[in-house]
A and B are shown apart, each in its own frame.
Chain A
Amino acid sequence: MAKIDGTAAPRPTPNRVVPVLAAVALVLVWLLDLGTIQPNRIVPGTGHGLVSAVGWPGAGLVSLVLIASLAVSILPLAWRYWALLVLAGLSLALLPLLLEVFAARHLPPDSPYARSSVGAGFWCLLFLLSLMLIEILGRLKAGRGVQLLVMVVIGGSWLVLLRGAGLESLSLVREFNAQPDKFAQALRAHLALAFGAVAVSAGLAVMLALKMMRSPAWQRPILGAVSFMQTIPSLAVFGLLIAPLSALSSAFPVLQELGVRGIGWAPALLALIAYSLLPMVRNTFVALTEVPESLADAGRGMGMSERQLFFQLKVPLALPVIIEGVRITTIQAIGLTAVAALIGAGGFGGFIFQGLGQSAMDLVLLGALPTIALALVADALFTLLAASLRPVPATA
């Protein structure tokens, strides 16, 4: 595969990024605590450095992997990036094993409340290895298939290891096991709010974009209004919606029965829709208006009606840009839904703010990490979708 792009023919130049990342990782992983052991949920734990945490064999293995990736990346070999991909991918996939060894070595056997948690050294290792993987995938010019395969292998391995018995003492797993139903409920609430808002705003955005295309006088007011909405901070919008919505719900008992109140899902959904409109309207409008007039003319010449022109030419050509708008909107909505927990809308933000209130950092992580994961998954899915919908240039 490397032969096609021609870089393999001359002597490959040494990579400078991977060695820097590997060296930084090597320093940090030796300097910082890999993990901590807590006697219970609230008491701050004692930190363990690399050697203390996983012993000399473990520390040696980690160092060896980092030094090996450093060495391979400066070797002038054509296949070095594939070797690095395997090395970095496998290390990332098996990273939770470090925590498993750590827990096995240090957890007192007779205290059911003791828990192990992840230290700064582990986070740094995870972060730098991920950067390395991104760099390697970029250099390989790896196709979507390879990227997806790598993600599935790493994600799958993490899931299997985290669900296994060896990591049961990990504080994050403890928090999850304490309330799996609540977690599932939060996931459902989060997805329903975020995707509900995206779906409603997509419908609204198409209508607004069509209105703007038909009557250009509406362009400035509509774009002005939706970007004004985007400027106001989320906390302020949630706050400002409380009074009018509670007034509405006390005036109309029907709304009250539907669950519309000053706090809860109703103001959250309204605010999320308002926020989602800007990227959605802008992208839909730009995408539909930027279809080249020459193409529309060609379509007309072939005898297409305006309706056919819209559905068979403009919409397919505009779709990747519209999907890009949906991607931005979805990521934003997933993040804002977490804030909406402050007004009682549920979702993963509930864990975050509850954890912050109780100073229970593991509960904070239980809310924050899935929120990030959701955003990353949505990002990957919509990027993939947009790429697969991009029209293939005609060969003629």
Chain B
Amino acid sequence: MRVWLPTVLLAALLGGLSVGMSVLEPLFAWVQPDTSRVIYERESFAFLLYNHLMLVVVSAVIGTIAAVAGGIFATRPAGRDFLPLVSQIASIGQTFPPVAVLALAVPVLGFGEAPILLALILYGLLPILRNTLAGLEGIDPAVREAALGMGMSPLQVLLRVELPLAGKVILAGIRTSVTINIATAAIGSTIGARTLGDPVIAGLVNGNTAYVLQGAILIGLLALTADSLFEALERNWDRHSGRVRPPVFR
């Protein structure tokens, strides 16, 4: 249970602040003394947090499904021909700066949530794809042979041997992807998505440092919460697979 404690605490802080930011009003009034409006009120923080989170979660789910499916396809006999190209795409694609990808999505899809979702999915796919390939390719061929020799079908080998063994590496890829996407979704405010980047952008435009701080604190907390969640998941994975693995392969 203790592995989950940081996540729970950070999530509670994040939730609490997004509902009751006005508690800190004296602090922000001290930072930004010359204005009457110190707390961002154009949209509730809870709504912005929810929207931000949904963008990241939806893109992570779609991206994970697509990337893992692609990775599995490229490592099967039927798709092997595509492996070099797919791994090249995964590595070259990551040299594209996320902001540029975000900006390029606008001329294609217009302003709003659609382009940012597309950009998040496409960009978030790459680290997951790369790690899926690395995880599946990193499995000792002898393990696969042994599983086939035990009479497993190729599908059983994939589901019960390869994916569990590659799982931790894939999870690390999802972690990278989510970290990047939380940051990119925040910048998405500039193209009309309602995220926690809104107060930051509004504050920068109006020269209101208090707004900027409120947005920045919530974005930072969201990133830390997500990161600690993945940290806990990875530790849990270690304990879990440590218990299961030895009787199966020795």
Contacts and interface: CB of A to CB of B under 8 A. Distances in A.
A236 B219 contact: yes
B88 interface: yes
Contacts of A246: 209
Given A134-B92, A342-B201, A356-B106, A232 B223 contact: yes
B85 A17 contact: yes
Interface string B33-47: 000000000000000
A233 B100 contact: no
Contacts of B104: 364-365, 368
B161 to A, nearest CB: 27
Contacts of A376: 92, 95
A236 B81 contact: no
Task: Choose among B99, B108, B190, B224 the residue with the greatest number of A CB atoms under 10 Å from its CB.
Answer: B99
Contacts of B179: 230-231
Interface residues of A, number: 50
B220 A236 contact: yes
B53 interface: no
A243 B209 contact: yes
Interface in B66-117: 81-82, 84-85, 88-89, 92, 95-100, 103-104, 106-108, 111
A331 B93 CA distance: 12
A339 B187 contact: yes
Q: Identify whether the interface residues of B are mostly helix, strand, loop, or mixed.
A: helix
B216 A335 contact: no
Given A17-B85, A233-B219, A239-B203, A368 B103 contact: yes
Contacts of B65: none
A248 to B, nearest CB: 14
B85 A233 contact: no
Contact of B103 (A135, A138, A356): A356
B55 interface: no
Contacts of A134: 85, 88-89, 92
A240 B216 contact: yes
Contact of B223 (A231, A242, A335): A231
Interface in A148-190: none
B215 interface: yes
A262 B208 CA distance: 12
Given A231-B227, A240-B216, A262-B209, A364 B103 contact: yes
A107 interface: no
B183 interface: yes
Given A135-B84, A242-B209, A235 B97 contact: no
Contacts of B219: 232-233, 235-236, 239
A238 B203 CA distance: 12
Contact of B183 (A234, A356, A361, A375): A234
Contacts of A26: none
A379 B99 contact: no
B212 interface: yes
Interface of A: 15-17, 120, 131, 134-135, 138-139, 230-240, 242-243, 246, 262-263, 331, 334-336, 338-339, 342-343, 349, 352-353, 355-356, 359, 361, 364-365, 367-369, 371-372, 375-376, 379
16 contacts: A16-B82, A17-B85, A138-B88, A139-B84, A232-B223, A236-B215, A239-B204, A239-B215, A239-B219, A243-B212, A338-B97, A355-B103, A361-B107, A369-B100, A371-B99, A372-B97
For the complex of A and B, the 5 pairs showing the least CB-CB separation, nearest first, are A335-B97, A239-B216, A233-B183, A236-B219, A236-B216
